[in-house]
Chains A and B, each alone.
Chain A
């Protein structure tokens, strides 16, 4: 290890003992004591309190590991630092632990508790890294702990942790394969995961643990196909090769019924656009068609796979391109396989290792599908700078590609190769010429002549190789080539390469009647040098002698006997055997007479010409791109590529019921209508979605101008379709175009407003917009004072309760592309006229404030507080619509939120917040989800399910829950789209932190009695004239705070009650209003802060 001084770590350490280490290797033994001393030094450093010393020590230890030195005796000292605060030390300790834990199992157990603690950490990255290290420690004792951790992590909220869980599965499996059944359960669960992050890893786990459980894939097949394009590269490779196997078991061969093939794939292609819409129907039709076999219709799922993998041919990763190429080779109909050629040829520009693998595969493919690579013939031309192994593979491909038309160019090219300096390559070229000659009859003579010319080459290897090839060629038509044989006979004097000599002898023997004069002479010469020849040559001499004896015994009898006697005493038993055998056959004797009569038949039987074939023939029974294919031998763990089934298995197994998928629930409006959109139909696959969402998508595309118009895709058709139908003014599509128009109007309204707000100052990003439209000021009280006043971006949207109710409904209407709401013809004309007028006013239903108080009045009668009641009681969606993200800041994505005041389904402590997204840009927004929140202590967020895509002009609503922990601190989080992240924050008005409770007057009084003193806050105020009526007061109070009204005996006293969401403390509000206008507001609550703020808010609301 003379290189040791190069390690700066060694030099960096405290001098003395470090120096001693130079120059000896622990492996060399003997110097163990000094080694030991140095480790003492490291131990000391590890035991100090200084992180820098620890780090130094760890660095040196890791450097030792990297060089392959043994550092296991430091285990106890290192493991102590597993809980070190310094991140780098910690990481290096992990590295050490993973490396040596297997050897020191008992001590390794000391570290387990640290990781177990890490598994519970609120930070997903810490959870993931704890699981990663825990599962990497190969200690069998902790298998149950690992199992538990994996199971827990598999249902973690964070996809990153789930990914780590998927990675941990094969680790556990290799540690203890008895856990297989349980692991399969986890795999099954993770396979259902719909995030791209998890998909690749879990398929990897699937391939390692249970590749035979193909049935687990059925339900996830379509999802995987659709996710594929967004999975990271390594995952793509694994998924594609797994899907290749899957498809081979589930679909019929596309190459059967060749003749019908030409049109059917096309049909299937266009048909498949709507097969999701048609659902199982079309599949049943396909299934019905299958047993009859005619005509062959490709399963739409088969098509889906082919269609979704095709764009990946453009990947930068050679592995992905190769994976797609093999998928197409094994699965696609013949007519479509061609697309992969271009991509594979591109890979030939890459590193030589990549070229090597790709060329191996191209060689196999080019035997089966020659036409595919023919246009790229020149790309396989060989450069003198290519490494030999690449040259030989290119030659193989060129030979495979040679045909009648291109053979002249190929041969000319070969001619230059023959003059190369690389002799191995020249030999391979000669072989290749031989193969071309046998395959293409037309050029056989040319090739033969060329090869004969090579016989005069000065390089012996070249000559020898030529002889061997000529021999093979001559065997095909020996009669005309007496001259060549004579020429070869002359060469025996010079050529020393045994294989070439043997070939010449064999040729002369075989065709001795063509050269009757020369043959005996050659035998004479050979007999002379017999003892000095190589074994294969000796055998051929015997062979020649026997053949000559049979045809020309007069001249050669003695020679033959001489050769046979020499051979009889040869050192090699093979030769001795052959001599004995030959003698018995050809020399008539007493016993062997029967056989010798047939000797001529035996020796001079016409022999079939050899077939020169590629060594790559039949390699395609291995899956292309696999290690086994490359080695042409089955590698460990290779999964056979199954043959196509005779009868297609039931395709309906891949049908997924909507319930099975996790749905995006768009819970809109108070009626509790759910629009369920199966996730995978809104999949992220770009191509597919475009097709699928065509009906409403294409319209906006039209608007976006000429960008798409050049596109000759089928969608231009449908675009015009929808347009024409909208003109006719009937049917669903017309209502949809209504919505478009409405959107447009709204957008104008918004944009005009945004201009205004931009004038006000650039710095307002998402909040702090002081702009209360007149109407709104009238109708409502903004709860947080004027500075963060509600700023509903649509001016028509006052925070009038009932209008709020209407509003979501209209949102709802826009969300689905083909809303069922009957289109009002009147509206069309209206909107058409108003195309350039300011925003149209939403229809306002008469105020129904009554309902609130009425319900409150009725409350006394209800006995149960069923979950229905709260929604009836507080239909008020909090403080109007607040802006979360302005559409300018959000690049077209506008986000508003309202407090829906409904109990959040997941967690009763959470405030349910409705988030309305609308996309006013002209591109779809993808992958809307909540990013890493940065939350103050105690506040937690239940994220809404990711919205896969929001098309231009579309709006949608999602619900998220926030546990504000009874404080008005803002919840800050990131709103992420696929491309952007926006920092947003939601700050709740204090009134939203509570939920109404229902109690009788007596109960109220009783509770109020308990909450006096510090817990009681009183404020005097004067009610303005406008808000002296019952209705107004009740409405204003309930608008400000989410409280339930408590029935009250006296007419001018109002009582409201609620509980804070997190702690459940009571909040009691009493308003004593005198007819004069003077009033007293009392709030009783354990939470004094909340009480104080509530008083302030309510007073403000009432006095406005």
Chain B
């Protein structure tokens, strides 16, 4: 299926190649570079590029192109999903997935890639299994390895692949047994000029960090499971149990994983926690424009809104902006025309605002489009949909685990059109 993989950085260097079948010359990437040139921005490079003998499927993450070479018909999502899984694995292994990190750990990367595919068909993609096969490098281990000459390759043969719960490694031991769940909800919204909501949706995920000894069997139940409209599960969740009882019952993988992602049914009107008042105008006559933004809280259920960041892509005609914020810091990049205002916390008594003038290119006509405002924010201890975890129980092990659940609401793709 997948013939080869090339890792290409943003300046167009191939800095890693791996072949699972016969070697494919790296000149095949020329087609990719062509397409990259045609697409002005990295994200516009088509994910599938046909060449005379091969097909190039690529994903772009962390400023690296992961280009897979295939030769025959294969569902494109199969390859794309796999490439994303590769990136996730690297991230899991090294904390970050960037060019220098991959170069520093090139041997581990190579070993991991070797295990992930056999003849181009995925073999072991579960992070738990991979970590049993090849231990992720830590500072401590690197030091120990240099002294003792031991290796990163697991000295035990992994049994995880053979077990009926392939996502969990065996023989897990912790002194502190703990299970943390983060319910993170994101609001995707488009707000139009007048402040009315065009579309708003809530998407949520439950990320878990489970460090429990042995083979615990967990159940997680909700107070109001009916809120969940569409769900997708980690393979460990017993689907039938969910179908019949709306209870999540699962044997967790060890470590961090995404248990569930969900969509809140559209009937529930979404409470939009912030509003943006804006007044952006360019005048035909002068080369100056007015710019004013105020951000305020709306339906926050008594919680404070934190980490507010306002970004906006200004039209090409904008030369510079002279703005003064009432709080926080702002930057304007005259090259990319990106305005970014780091607001911080919103104090309802004193609403943050950003005011000033926009200087336009002299002689150029007034831009006929107004910029869109993108908003990021965070609200701690609140799941905006009202979803609540009822209880978490553990079976199968005798100890008492420490359990924790955290709620958070974030802005997803939150846009205000002006």
> A interface vs B, CB < 8 Å?
3, 6-9, 51-52, 55, 59, 62-63, 65-68, 86-88, 91-92, 94-95, 99, 102, 123-126, 132, 135-136, 138, 158-160, 164, 167-168, 170-171, 174, 197, 201, 204, 229, 232-234, 237, 241, 311, 314-319, 321-323, 342-343, 345-346, 349, 351-354, 356-358, 378-379, 381, 383-385, 387-389, 413, 416, 419-421, 457-459, 625-628, 630-631, 633, 635-639, 686-687, 690, 707-708, 710-711, 713, 891, 927, 929, 931-932, 976-981
Contacts and interface: CB of A to CB of B under 8 A. Distances in A.
A385 to B, nearest CB: 6
A357 B119 contact: no
B396 A627 contact: no
A63 B110 CA distance: 8
B182 interface: no
Given A6-B103, A354-B81, 18 more contacts: A95-B110, A138-B22, A314-B233, A316-B235, A319-B75, A346-B263, A353-B60, A353-B83, A357-B77, A357-B80, A419-B370, A626-B76, A628-B73, A630-B76, A635-B72, A636-B72, A637-B73, A686-B238
Contacts of B46: 356, 389
Given A88-B152, A381-B190, A237 B78 contact: yes
Contacts of B316: 421
B74 interface: yes
Contacts of A323: 75
B288 to A, nearest CB: 19
Contact of B163 (A174, A384, A931): A931
Q: Which 3 A-B pairs have the closest CB atoms?
A: A637-B72, A686-B240, A88-B151
Given A66-B18, A457-B368, A319 B164 contact: no
A322 B72 contact: no
B251 A627 contact: no
Nearest to A706: B245
A99 B19 contact: yes
B73 A639 contact: yes
Contacts of B121: 167, 170, 201, 204, 234
A95 B245 CA distance: 48
A980 B395 CA distance: 11
A416 B21 CA distance: 49
Given A86-B151, A234-B122, A378-B199, A319 B78 contact: yes
B34 interface: no
B240 A932 contact: no
Contacts of A68: 14, 17, 26
A171 B44 contact: no
B22 A102 contact: yes
A190 to B, nearest CB: 14
Max chain A C-beta neighbours (<10 A), residue from B71, B152, B154, B395: B395
A294 B244 CA distance: 36
B73 A638 contact: yes
A353 B217 contact: no
A356 B415 contact: no
Contact of A125 (B155, B158, B163): B158
A3 B15 contact: yes
Contacts of A136: 118-119
Contacts of B343: none
A687 B239 CA distance: 9
A891 B216 CA distance: 11
Contacts of B100: 6
B258 A66 contact: no
Interface in B194-245: 198-199, 201, 203, 215, 217, 229-235, 238-240, 243-245
Contact of B47 (A158, A201, A353): A353
Contact of B258 (A316, A342, A351, A931): A316
Contact of B80 (A62, A91, A354): A354
B91 interface: no
Contacts of B245: 707-708, 710-711
Contacts of A711: 244-245
Interface string B160-178: 0111111000100000000
Contacts of B229: 342
Contact of A318 (B74, B81, B368): B81
B362 interface: no
B239 A311 contact: yes
A7 B396 contact: no
A977 B313 CA distance: 56
A42 to B, nearest CB: 14
A457 B366 CA distance: 12
Contact of A315 (B164, B233, B315): B233
B107 A9 contact: yes
24 contacts: A7-B103, A62-B110, A66-B110, A92-B111, A102-B22, A125-B158, A167-B119, A232-B122, A315-B233, A316-B232, A316-B235, A322-B77, A346-B263, A353-B60, A356-B47, A357-B76, A385-B415, A419-B369, A421-B316, A630-B76, A635-B50, A635-B73, A636-B71, A686-B240
Interface in B361-403: 365, 368-370, 372, 374, 395-396
A7 B244 contact: no
A981 B315 CA distance: 62
A388 B239 contact: no
A420 B315 CA distance: 9
A627 B74 contact: yes
A713 B244 CA distance: 8
A3 B9 CA distance: 12
Contacts of B231: 314
B149 A322 contact: no
**Is the contact region of chain A dominated by helix, strand, or loop, or is it mixed?**
helix
A237 B75 CA distance: 8
B368 A8 contact: no
Contact of B23 (A99, A317, A416, A891): A99
B300 interface: no
A387 to B, nearest CB: 4
B286 interface: no
Given A86-B151, A311-B239, A319-B78, A627 B110 contact: no
B111 A91 contact: yes
B157 interface: yes
B106 A160 contact: no
Contact of A625 (B75, B109, B154, B396): B75
Contact of A91 (B16, B153, B313): B153
B43 interface: yes
B159 A891 contact: no
B261 interface: yes
Contact of B201 (A160, A379, A978): A379
Contact of A981 (B74, B163, B244): B163
A636 B72 CA distance: 5
A637 B75 CA distance: 12
A92 B84 CA distance: 25
Contacts of B369: 419-421
Max chain A C-beta neighbours (<10 A), residue from B76, B109, B118, B258: B76
A717 to B, nearest CB: 15
Contacts of A383: 190, 372, 413, 415
B357 interface: no
A966 B153 CA distance: 38
A317 B201 contact: no
Contacts of B153: 87-88, 91
A685 to B, nearest CB: 9
A389 B44 contact: yes
A318 B263 contact: no
B214 to A, nearest CB: 9
A980 B106 contact: no
Nearest to A762: B398
B272 interface: no
Contacts of A138: 22
A891 B76 CA distance: 44
Contacts of B72: 635-637
Nearest to B19: A99
Given A62-B106, A233-B235, A711-B244, A891 B199 contact: no
B15 A171 contact: no
